[in-house]
Structure 1
Amino acid sequence: MTPEEIAGTLTELFGTGDVGAIAPGSWQVETSSFRLLVLLAEDHTWLRVLLPIVPIEAAQPFLEQFLEANFDETQEVRYALYQGVIWGVFQHNSGTLVSADLSNAIARLISLHDAGLNDVFNRLIENRIRQIIQAAKRQGQSLQFTMQNLERFYTEGLLGEIEQTPEAREQVLALWRHQLERLWNEIEA
């Protein structure tokens, strides 16, 4: 893609008001939700698209899940760490890049931005639930017995918030029950 084609694709996606050239071969897309950077190498051989996702302080507990997502889920874009920020990054040889691929990559980056920590948090939680199921099965516990233990932990205050209302506790337990029932038969002891 030439610089003109890149600028045209950005204008098609975001309109002229949100797209600005910040230097030759570099653009910034500024919306109310995000700031996207598009950088073309000086020799015009590589294009990099960057979108900040979350500060490292918030992401620290989920670094393993970010890396797992890079392997399994992020497709043509990747999570990366730079200057204390987790970024969504797309890099491609500009000579073989077409407008549709750039548009798809930008849509995927925006999807990562919109998800923020939600997807990696959910991945972490599912991994923990799988560990609980494995431990319960190794001890010969049934799904029903495992759920009773969790209910007891909430009743005794070992799990949950200190000032959690009974309604909130029931909602959390319903979520536990749903996840345990969903994953129970998938997991071997």
Structure 2
Amino acid sequence: MTPEEIADTLTELFDTSAVGTLAPGSWQVNTSTFRLLVLLSEDNTWLRVLLPILPIQEAQAFLEQFLEANFDDTQEVRYALYEGVICGVFQHNSSTLVSADLFNAINRLVSLHQAGLDNVFNRLIESRIRQIIQAAKQQGQSLQATMQSLERFYAEGLMGEIDQTAEAREKVIAAWRLQLERLWNEVDFNS
């Protein structure tokens, strides 16, 4: 892609007032919710698109899940750390890049930005639920016995919010039940 084709793709994706040129071969897209940077290498052979997602302080507990997402979920874009910020990044050789691929990559980056921590948090929760299932199975517990233990923990105040209402507690227990039932047969207690 030429710099002109890149600029055209950006103005096709975003309002022209949102797209600005920082210097030859570099653009910035400012919207009400994010700032996207598009940078060509000095020799115009590589294009990099960056979209800051959140500060590393907010993401620290989820770094493993971000890396797993890079392997499993992010497709042509990646999570990366730059100057203390988790960013969505797309890099491609500009000579083989086509407008449709850049268009798709930017949409994917915006999707990562909109998800924020949701996807990696869900990944973390699922891994913790799998650990609970594995421990329960190693102790010879059934799904029903595991649910009874969780319900007891909530009833005794060992889990949940201090001022949690009975209705809220029931919703949480229903969510536990759903996840345990969904994952129970997938987890092998020997792994």
TM over 0.5, shorter chain? yes
| Poorly superposed stretches of 4+, deviation over 3 Å | none
SS of 1:188's equivalent in the other structure is coil
Q: Report the counterpart of residue 97 of structure 1 in structure 2.
A: 97
| CA offset digits 1:72-118 (Å, max 9, x no partner) | 11111100011110000000000000000000000110010000000
Q: Report the counterpart of residue 69 of structure 1 in structure 2.
A: 69
SS of 2:17's equivalent in the other structure is coil
Shift of residue 55, structure 1, vs aligned partner: 0.6
Q: Report the counterpart of residue 168 of structure 2 in structure 1.
A: 168
CA distance in 2, matches of 1:74, 1:100: 17
CA distance in 2, matches of 1:148, 1:102: 51
TM-score (norm 2): 0.98
CA distance in 2, matches of 1:22, 1:165: 53
Residues matched between the structures, number: 189
| CA offset digits 1:21-76 (Å, max 9, x no partner) | 11111001111111100001111000000000111110000000000001111111
Q: Which amino acid aligns with 1:116?
A: G
| CA offset digits 1:142-172 (Å, max 9, x no partner) | 1000000000001111111111111111111
CA distance in 2, matches of 1:185, 1:146: 14
CA distance in 2, matches of 1:9, 1:15: 11
SS of 1:28's equivalent in the other structure is strand
CA distance in 2, matches of 1:15, 1:52: 20
Aligned-pair identity in percent equals 79
Shift of residue 15, structure 1, vs aligned partner: 2.3
Q: Report the counterpart of residue 148 of structure 1 in structure 2.
A: 148
Q: Which amino acid aligns with 1:2?
A: T
Unaligned runs of 5+ in 2: none
CA distance in 2, matches of 1:15, 1:177: 46
Unaligned runs of 5+ in 1: none
1:134 and 2:134 correspond: yes
Q: Report the counterpart of residue 56 of structure 1 in structure 2.
A: 56
| CA offset digits 1:121-157 (Å, max 9, x no partner) | 0000000000100111111101000000000001111
Q: Report the counterpart of residue 121 of structure 1 in structure 2.
A: 121
Q: Report the counterpart of residue 84 of structure 1 in structure 2.
A: 84
CA distance in 2, matches of 1:80, 1:90: 10
User: RMSD across aligned C-alpha pairs, in angstroms?
Assistant: 0.6
Q: Report the counterpart of residue 31 of structure 1 in structure 2.
A: 31
